[in-house]
Amino acid sequence: MQRDYTLAMRQFIKFTLATIVGFTICTAAALMLGGIIIAGIIASGSDNTLELKDKSILQVNLSGSITEYVEENPFNEIMGYASEQQGLDDIIGAIDKAANTKEITAIYVAAGITSTDYATLQEIRNALLRAKAKGKMIISYAKEYTQGAYYVCSVADKVWINPEGMLDLHGIASKPMYIKDLMEKFGVRMKVVKVGKYKSATEQYTEDRMSDENRLQVTRYAGNIWNVIANGISKARGISVEDVNRCADELTMLKPAAYLLKNRLVDKTLYAEDVESEIKKLIKVDEGEDLEKIGCNALNTSNIGQQSSSDKIAVYHCEGSIVRSAEAGVITGDVGIVSHKMVKDLEKLRKDKNVKAVVMRINSGGGDAFASEEIWHAMKTLREKKPVVVSMGGAAASGAYYMACTATHIIAQSTTLTGSIGIFGAFPDISGLMTEKLGVKYDNVKTNRHSDFSFLQTARPFNEEEERMLQEYINRGYDLFCKRVSDGRKIPLEKVRKIAEGRVWSGGDALKIGLVDAIGGIDTAMKKAAQLANVKKYETLHYPIAPNWIEQLTEAANGGSSADSQLRDVLGVMYTPFMTIRNMEKQSPVQAMCPITVIRE
C-alpha cells in the first residue's frame, strides 16, 4: 500500500511539474512572439518616407476577394491564414492618391479572377475615371478577365490580354438555393411567419422555386445592374449596347482572342513578360531603364499627400450579417456587424469632439432584427450630435437599411441593393428529427397552456394559438420598421407601406422613391460629410479598430475559424445548406435579413 502511495505521489509531482514547465514555456513563447511582432510593427511603421521618380506607375492588383475594409492582423501569415483579400478603401485610396501625385504617370491594373459585388467594382471603376480625368494613363492586362474585372478595366486607355487568355462576358444570373427537401430528409421543418409579400428570405425553407413576387423583384434589380454594366462597357469601349449584349449572348469566355479583337473588347494581345516593355513605350521610358512601380499599400502608407488636422471625419465600415455577438474568429476578420460592439464605438465617436462627422460605409444584407434596432438607436443618438452620412456598398438592405434610415444623408451606388423593408421569423421544428429519425421520446408536465413553448420546437409542432401569437409578434416588428423609415426619411407612413412589403430596390430605383438621397460612392459621401460639418481640411479615421495583439493571439491559440474554413473546402456548395441547418438553434429566430442572390464576381 505504501508503495502504491509513493508511486501515486511521484506521478502527481511529475504531472504537476510538467504542467508548470509547459505553462512557463508557453507563456515565455507568447511573450517573445508578441515582442517580435510589436517590434516588427514599430519598425515597419517608423519610416514612411517615399521618394518617387518621374514616370512612376501605380500597380493595382485587381484579383482575389475584395472586401470593404481589411483590418491589419500580424497573426494571419504566422497562423497560415494569409489570403488574397484586399480592402476597397486601400484600392481607391491609392488610386485617388496617385491621381494627385505628379510623379505618377500611369496606373497599371493587373486583373485576374475577382470576387466581390458590383457596387464595389463601381467604386474602383469610378476612382480610375477620376484619375483618368486628371490626365493619368490607365492600362490593364490579364490572362483572364472575369466579367466584373473587365467592367472595371474597360475604362482603361489600353486593354490587353494574353493571346490564349479568356474574357468572360455573360450577363447577370440569380440562382437561389432551396433546402426544404433537404431539411425534410433530416426530419426538420421550418415554421415561417413573415410580413411582406416580397420578403423572399424564407422561401429557401418553404418552397422549391421562386415565388412570382420574388421573380419580379429579382428580374428588376438584376436587369438594372446589367444595364449599368452594359452601358458602362459600351461607353468606355465605343461599341453599342446591342453589341455588348450580342457578345454576352455568344459567351465570350469560349471565344478566341481574334474574336475579342474583332469586337473591340480588347486592344492588343501579348504575353505577360512583354507587358512592361509595352508600358515603357507608352509612357516614354527607355527600354534600358527600370520601370518605377509602386503598390497600393506602399503608396497609402507613404508620406505623399498626407495632411494633418485636428478635425476628423470617421469612416465606420459595416460589412456582413448583423448579429448580437461575434460569430467568427478575429483571425479571419469575418465577424459581421456586432451590435453591442458597434453601439460602444458609436458612443465614443459621439463624444469625440475632434470627430466632426461620421460616414457609415454599409455593405450588408441585414440580420438580427433586435440588433438592428440597437444600432438604429445608437445611430439616431449620434446623428443628434453630428452629421451622419451613409455610403451604401453592394447591399444595405433589410436590417442594414433599418439601421441606416435615420442618417442625415444616404448615398448609394446605382447597383446597390437596398430597401427590403420587411421582417420574418423562421422557427425550426425539429420534432420530426428527434422523435421519428432519432427515436427520442418525450413526456410532459406543465402548469400553463404554453409552459412547454420554445422558439426551437423539439417535442411537438406549434399549435394554432401559438402560430397566431407569433404572427402578431412579427407584425409588431414590421410596424416598428415602417415607422423607423417613415420618421427617418420623412416619408408618410402609408407611402412607406406601399414601397415596403420586403421588396428589394436597386440604388437607381431607391432614389426615385425616396429611400436614398443621391447616387455616388464613398468619395461623394466624404464630400457631403465635410460639407455638412462645415470643414475643409480634415483627417480620415477608419473604424472599427482592430483587436489588440493579445486578443488576436488568444483567438489564434483557440484555433480561430480554421475548422470552419476546412469545412468550407470539404463541403463546397453544400456548405451553406449544411451550416443553415446546423446553426438553427444558435440563430435569432426573428430576422430582418435579405439574401442577395445575384452572383458576385
* Chain segment 149-163, per-residue pLDDT in tens: 999 999 999 999 999
Residue 309 binned pLDDT confidence (cut-offs 50, 70, 90):
confident
Residue of 171, 173, 172, 178 whose CA lies nearest to 210: 178
Q: What torsion do the CA atoms of 152, 158, 164, 166 make, to the nearest 10 degrees?
A: 20
Q: What torsion do the CA atoms of 576, 577, 583, 587 make, to the nearest 10 degrees?
A: 80
Cβ contact 365:392 at 8 Å = no
Lowest mean pLDDT among 476-485, 512-521, 573-582: 573-582
pLDDT on residue 189: 87
Cβ contact 342:381 at 8 Å = no
User: What values do phi and psi take at 410, rounded to 5?
Assistant: -125, 130
pLDDT on residue 571: 57
Q: 564 is written with which cell numbers?
A: 470552419
Measured CA angle at 419 (ends 546, 344), to 5 deg: 30
Residue of 216, 199, 217, 206 whose CA lies nearest to 178: 206
Residue 194 binned pLDDT confidence (cut-offs 50, 70, 90):
confident
Per-residue pLDDT tens digits for 359-407? 999 999 999 999 999 999 999 999 999 999 999 999 999 999 999 999 9
User: What is the average pLDDT value for the chain, to the nearest integer?
Assistant: 84
Is pLDDT larger for residue 41 or for residue 108? 108
Per-residue pLDDT tens digits for 526-538? 999 999 999 999 9
pTM score: 0.83
**Residue 519 pLDDT more than 60?**
yes
- Contacts of 101 by beta carbon, 8 Å cutoff, 6+ apart: 52, 299, 304, 305
**Radius of gyration of the chain, Cα coordinates, nearest whole angstrom:** 27
Is pLDDT larger for residue 491 or for residue 16? 491
Strand 137-145 versus strand 104-115 pairing type: parallel
**Residue 478 pLDDT more than 50?**
yes
**Residue 62 pLDDT more than 50?**
yes
pLDDT on residue 518: 98
Is pLDDT larger for residue 497 or for residue 332? 497
Cβ contact 451:466 at 8 Å = no
pLDDT on residue 85: 75
How far lies 235's CA from each of 124, 125, 238, 244, 252, in Å?
17, 13, 5, 10, 19
Residue 24 binned pLDDT confidence (cut-offs 50, 70, 90):
low
Residue of 355, 326, 307, 308 whose CA lies nearest to 542: 355
